[in-house]
Structure formats: structure tokens, C-alpha cells
Amino acid sequence: MFLSLHGQVLSDPNFWIFFIIALFILLHILFLIIIIPQWLLDAHFDPKKKKEKEIKLKSMANELGLENKTVYSLKNLNLFSWLVYKKRVRDYYVPYIREIGKIEGDIWKSRKKVTPDSIPRYFYGALFSEQPLSDILCTKNSVDPYIMVATQRSSQGKSTIFHRVIHFRSYTLGLPKCAVSPTHEWIDSISPEPDDINFISDEKFSKKFDLTGENQLRIRKIFNQEIRAIMVNNSKWTWKLENHSILIKYLITVEDLNQMNDIKPSLIELSKLYKILQSTDITSQSTREQIEADILDEIIDKKLYKKRMVIFACLLLFGAFLVLLALFMLIGFFIKIKFPFLFYGLFLGLVGFALFQYGKSEWVRNKNLKKEGKVEII
């Protein structure tokens, strides 16, 4: 009787109409519960630290001769006006986000566009649209060189982290496209970046950074000893160079976020780099033969070779184990039709296959190093 009645209810179209409407209302009540505290904090409260930061930004802009392009919260707005204003603020920052995204190679950020105004965009944008850039100081876009300093916000697990981003552009520069990123020495010794550009003459730089790019010969001509020394002195920074632009990015503390004591020293370092690049004549640099002689061959000692082989053998075997486990789960899904088996089977299979392939490729690569006589007692 109950099952029959239950089946009739589920097959009734009116039930599903009521269910969808009720679910829609409940979800939007939940959204309002999330939005209203944000609105109250942003539009009606004025924390002392926030005001101090606004004053600090204006002072920093005046000191550095930059324009303060940061947009501040408007106070005493009603909920709808606040939602509209937040959408306008997000639109205001789009060109800056796109500018950074192009240099970083971020497809989503580089293609970001200003969307037409609408009530759904006001409401859902406040919930789901991130505002990654803030605290923007810059010169006028027509000025050469152009400088933009900003704070970039991103999520790392459950926590929020902040990076300082500095974009420098000068049409007097013609830089090869390349990236410089800090590396962990131990990880680099076990699994070095295959496209890393190293220098025999500068072991310190080669151990601290991965330098990657397409035109290796041109990159080596640009990255002379003076340039590398500046980067070594700022070993936590990541650098991206392309044509007329230099992008610097580094993690900042809460104190740096509020006090901005890092900005002036960073711009001084950037100024040094720019002067060196301006005075660098690529045509008068080392010859092709001299540059190629500075290319570091991967030569490892026997102890490191054995350590690598053990690590990659473990990865290979663990990957194979996960793939076998995934196969058993998929078989279990087809026998019992239990969807958790399908989900876990696919997940473990993909992870296991990736680990197996990586372990296998590194195992083979290190075996080839030994065949080529690049494993020595050092």
C-alpha cells in the first residue's frame, strides 16, 4: 500500500513542480544567509585596519609617483545597491586581471570579459565570482616604462594566500619568452625539470631555479651573470619575461599585505634589472660556441642514481597496484551495479596510471643516463 502510494506521488508531475520550486526557494534562502553578513560587514562597518590600509596605499602611491587605482567599498548601501556596486567593481578590475593573465599564460584570466548587467549576475556574482586583484598602484598606461603593482589573492586548500604581483613593461625591451621559478634542491636532484636551462658557470642559480623557454640560445645571451645575481638575491620570486614585459610574483605575509613594506625594495631590484637589460647588447655577448660550452650535462653520482631508481621503482609498483585495484572495483561495479565502485575505480585507475607512467618514464631516463656514461662516482 505504502509503496503503491509512494510510486503514485513520484509519478505525479505536480509533485515535481512543487519540489523544484521549494528547492529553488530553499537554495536562495541559503544564498541570502551567506550574502547578508558580507553585505553588513562591507557596506556598514568600517574596520580601523581597513581605513589605515587605504591611507597607506594613498601615501605609497604619492611616494612612488604612481596612481592609486584601488576601488574602495561604499558605505551605507542597501542590499541591492551593494550587489550592483560589487558587480561594477568586478568589471572595473577585469582589464588588470586580463593583463596579468596574458603574461602568466592563464587562458581563463586572459579571456575574461566585462559581462552585461543583470539581476542574476548581481546576485550570483557576489557568491561565485572571485576578485583576485586588489591594492593596485600603477603609472598611466601610455607611460614608458609602465609599472603596475597589485596584490593577488588565491586559495590554497582551506586557506587564503596573497602574492605581490609587479608588471613592468617597456617598449625598449625585446625579451625572449621564458619563466624562472624557484625549485627545491632535493626535488630537483631526484626529478629535474627536463627543459631546465642550467649554467656550468653558475651552480648557485642552477640549483635555486628552473629556467625554461623555447629559444635557449637567446635566453642564455640575456641571462648574463648580473641578471642571474639579481634573481639569486630574490630566490623566492617567480619571473616571467616576454617581449616588452617582465612579471614578478612572490608570496607576502599578512604584515606585508597591510604595511606594504616590500613594494619599494622590490621596485629598486626591478630598476637594477631594467638598467642591466638596457645596457646589454646581445650581439656583443659570448659566441654560440662559448654559450653551448656553458650548458650543463646531467651527470649524477652512483648514490643519487640508486636513490632515484628506488623511488621511481616504488612509484611504478604503487601505480600498478592502484590500476589493479581499480580493475577489481570496476569488475565489482558490473557485478553488483554499485556506483561508488565505479567512482573509486575510475579515480584510482587515473591516479595509478599517472604514477605508473611517470615512474616508468623516469626509470627509463635514468637507465639511459647510465648507458651514456653519465653516472659516476663523484
* pLDDT tens digits for range 344-363: 888 988 998 998 888 888 88
Region of 151 please: left (phi>0), alpha (psi -120 to 50) or beta.
beta
Give the pLDDT score at 25: 86
Owner of C-alpha cell 577489481: 328
pLDDT(299) > 60: no
For the segment 230-244, the average pLDDT, to the nearest whole number, is 91
pLDDT band for position 1 (50/70/90)? very low
Alpha carbon of 277 to those of 153, 219, 230, 282, 353: distances in Å? 30, 12, 12, 10, 45
Q: Strand, helix or coil at 273? A: helix
Higher pLDDT, 276 or 123: 276
pLDDT of residue 213: 87
Q: How far apart are CA 151 and CA 163, in angstroms?
A: 6
Task: Report the sign of the C-alpha dihedral through residues 79, 85, 90, 91, in that order.
Answer: positive
- Binned at pLDDT 50, 70 and 90, residue 285 comes out as low
Residue type, 214: E
Instruction: Give the tens place of pLDDT for each residue, 68-93.
Output: 888 887 778 888 888 888 888 888 88
Nearest to 307 by CA among 173, 190, 183: 190
Q: Are 225 and 247 in contact (CB under 8 A)?
A: no
Q: What percent of the chain has pLDDT over 90?
A: 15
Q: What is the DSSP letter of 239?
A: E
Q: Which residue has the higher pLDDT, 376 or 204?
A: 204
**CB under 8 Å to 89, separation ≥6 — which residues?**
71, 131
Helix (H, G, I), strand (E, B) or coil at 200: coil
pLDDT digits (tens, 9 = 90+) for 14-66: 767 877 888 888 887 888 888 888 888 776 676 666 777 788 888 888 888 89
For the segment 143-167, the average pLDDT, to the nearest whole number, is 87
Confidence of residue 246 (pLDDT cuts 50, 70, 90): very high
Rounded CA Rg of the chain: 28
Q: Which of 41-50, 96-105, 134-143, 258-267 has the lowest mean pLDDT?
A: 41-50
DSSP state of 295: B
How many other CB atoms are found less than 10 A from the CB of residue 92?
14
C-alpha atoms less than 13 angstroms from C-alpha of 192 in its C-beta half-sphere: 22
